[in-house]
A and B are shown apart, each in its own frame.
Chain A
Amino acid sequence: MSQSSGLKYAYFPGCSLQSSAVDYNRSILSTCTELGIELRELEDWNCCGTTAVTSTNLLLSYLLPARNLALAEEEGLDLAVACNSCLVTHRRVTGCFSLDISPLANKIRSSLHKIGRTFRGRVQVRHILDILAEDLGFEGLAGKVKRRLEGLKVVPYYGCQYSRPGAQLKEAEMPESMDQILDLLGVEVKEYSRKTKCCGGVLMTTKPEIAAALVNELLEEAADRGADAIVVTCPLCQMNLDIYQGDVNARFGRSYNLPVVYFTQLLGIALGVKLVELDVHRGFVPAEPLLRKYA
């Protein structure tokens, strides 16, 4: 690890980062190592339940993430999450604890007690993007950039749950933090009106015709803006835009060929991390030909 930044978190990779988004996980770990940010993987974490559990049993949708928060509190660390959906589910729990009197918080407390855990609400849930943009900060990042990615044109796609719910309207619909990081790296960030429009999420499995139409719109604007690639912050967005891009092409008679990369992969390249340590070869739409010249 390079010089420590003094930043240290309990790291919650989430289920996707162990399967469909192993590339996101690897690029986060190698990038944070390079930046001196310590991510200590939360031991024996469980699935946050995501929208699946919120849609079947409301109480359980608070209890599953609460166990992870209790584990982080035992470590005395804030929780770093990589997935937009994990972010929302864990924050739903911390939100209950920020209120003075919440019957729900009491119910969560007593349920955790029955599995021998405690949570007092002393953990903050931070997205990796916010850790880089706010906790480390743009200045801290700028000093570490070794290679500028000049000539690379991208659209920044945050997905819907990075800034929602919670943020004020402008930030909720048009966040800027990733734009600013990419800008620091010398990337040409194109305007993108669909920064936080929905990719369809799990509807890609249950109602594919609807989700494919949403992804088609996202890809269409990216192509119209002249982007070489789409940069994302969420494993589910990456999956819908990349893995299902061929399916969208077939459904709508299009020929999109847009690599969908994680912001941590581009950041890693700019920091001088080797391509292989950023897993850029795993996308369905190959990103390597586009990125090789910068490495």
Chain B
Amino acid sequence: MAALELTRREEFDPAFLSLVASFPEGAKIRHCVQCGTCTGSCPVSYQMQHTPRKIIEMVRAGMRRAVLTSDSIWYCASCYSCSVRCPQGINLPEVMYLLRSIATATARDRSAIFYHCFSETVRRYGRLHEPALMLRYQLRTGLLGLFKNLPIGVQMLAKGKLHLLGRRIGGCQEVETLFRLAEDERRGSTGVPI
């Protein structure tokens, strides 16, 4: 615990570890030996507010707010370098997914916004429609990005790598039902999906 900065007592929430550990991949963090192989293997840990190793220890300490508001959980690119090297068999990207799922409603990180816009696009069309996704995303993060990405978009269009018109799949109603079921689950007793 010496590695963690001093935090006010009320910021430790023991229920947080129980919540994370109630998921199969989350439960494995109890076995973490803090060797730091995950941090050393991670291609983006150098940018994170808290390294992957530290995030695990913070979850175990119950630092709910600090974990869920840190940028660390949104940096993971799911490359699984950490998970294949972890001596304790912890699948850390899955733990990151879990933490994101808990944090998502209030998260303001650009990645969180992107993932939300992506999901909503899939909900509408049943598949990804890039122009719709990018428009949603840029409207929420600033139109400057839209102008920055415009040349690439135009070139993709010229190369036949982009379609302006989105088409909805036949099973959109089925997809919508799956979205609703998953949302109902989130509103259920645990307050998190699954």
Chain A interfacial positions (CB closer than 8 Å to B): 15-16, 18-23, 44-47, 49-61, 63-64, 67, 88, 104, 107, 111, 114-117, 160-161, 164-165, 167, 169, 172-173, 196-198, 200-203, 205-207, 210-211, 214, 243-244, 247, 282-284
- Interface pair B161/A111, CB less than 8 Å apart: no
Closest chain-B Cβ to A74's Cβ sits at a distance in Å of 13
Q: Which residues of B contact A20 (CB under 8 A)?
A: 130, 156, 161-162
Q: What interface size band does chain B fall in?
A: 35 or more
- Does B119 lie at the interface of the complex (its beta carbon under 8 Å from any beta carbon of A)? yes
- Interface pair B80/A160, CB less than 8 Å apart: yes
Q: Spot the interface stretch: B9-17, B27-35, B61-69, B109-117.
A: B109-117
A60 to B184, CA, bound (A): 11
Q: Which residues of B contact A117 (CB under 8 A)?
A: 174
Those 7 A-B pairs whose CB atoms lie nearest each other, nearest first: A52-B118, A160-B79, A60-B182, A198-B79, A164-B80, A15-B128, A52-B115
A197 to B79, CA, bound (A): 8
- Does B88 lie at the interface of the complex (its beta carbon under 8 Å from any beta carbon of A)? no
Q: A164-B83, A210-B75 are in contact. List 8 more A-B contacts (CB 8 A).
A: A49-B119, A55-B100, A55-B111, A60-B182, A88-B78, A115-B174, A161-B78, A197-B43
A55 to B175, CA, bound (A): 18
A53 to B78, CA, bound (A): 13
- Interface pair A59/B193, CB less than 8 Å apart: yes
Given A164-B84, A201-B77, A60 and B161 contact (CB-CB distance below 8 Å):
no
Nearest-CB residue, chain A, relative to B80: A164
- Does B163 lie at the interface of the complex (its beta carbon under 8 Å from any beta carbon of A)? yes
- Interface pair A207/B111, CB less than 8 Å apart: yes
- Interface pair A165/B174, CB less than 8 Å apart: no
Within 8 A of A (CB), among B135-165: 137, 152, 155-156, 159-163
Q: Which residues of B contact A61 (CB under 8 A)?
A: 97
- Interface pair A160/B100, CB less than 8 Å apart: no
Instruction: For A46, give its contact among B43, B77, B169 (CB under 8 Å).
Output: B169
Q: Which residues of A contact B44 (CB under 8 A)?
A: 198, 203, 210, 214
Nearest-CB residue, chain A, relative to B178: A63
Q: Which of A64, A115, A165 has the most CB of B within 10 A?
A: A165
- Interface pair A47/B111, CB less than 8 Å apart: no
- Does B4 lie at the interface of the complex (its beta carbon under 8 Å from any beta carbon of A)? no
Closest chain-B Cβ to A126's Cβ sits at a distance in Å of 19
Instruction: For A59, give its contact among B122, B156, B194 (CB under 8 Å).
Output: B194
A295 to B116, CA, bound (A): 44
Nearest-CB residue, chain B, relative to A16: B128
30 contacts between A and B (CB under 8 A): A15-B128, A19-B163, A44-B171, A45-B127, A46-B122, A47-B122, A47-B127, A47-B128, A51-B97, A53-B115, A53-B119, A55-B101, A57-B183, A58-B192, A58-B193, A59-B185, A59-B186, A67-B171, A104-B24, A107-B185, A160-B80, A164-B80, A167-B84, A173-B81, A197-B79, A201-B79, A203-B77, A207-B75, A207-B110, A207-B111
A111 to B47, CA, bound (A): 39
- Interface pair A58/B97, CB less than 8 Å apart: yes
Given A49-B122, A206-B110, A165 and B137 contact (CB-CB distance below 8 Å):
no
- Does B2 lie at the interface of the complex (its beta carbon under 8 Å from any beta carbon of A)? no
Closest chain-A Cβ to B19's Cβ sits at a distance in Å of 13
Nearest-CB residue, chain A, relative to B174: A115
Q: Which of B43, B109, B162 has the most CB of A within 10 A?
A: B43
Closest chain-A Cβ to B188's Cβ sits at a distance in Å of 10
- Interface pair B194/A107, CB less than 8 Å apart: yes
- Interface pair B161/A22, CB less than 8 Å apart: yes
Q: Which of A15, A16, A111 has the most CB of B within 10 A?
A: A15
Instruction: For B101, give its contact among A58, A104, A107, A197 (CB under 8 Å).
Output: A58
How would residues 91 to 126 of chain B score, 1 for a CB under 8 Å from any chain A CB and 0 otherwise? 101000110110010000111111110110010001
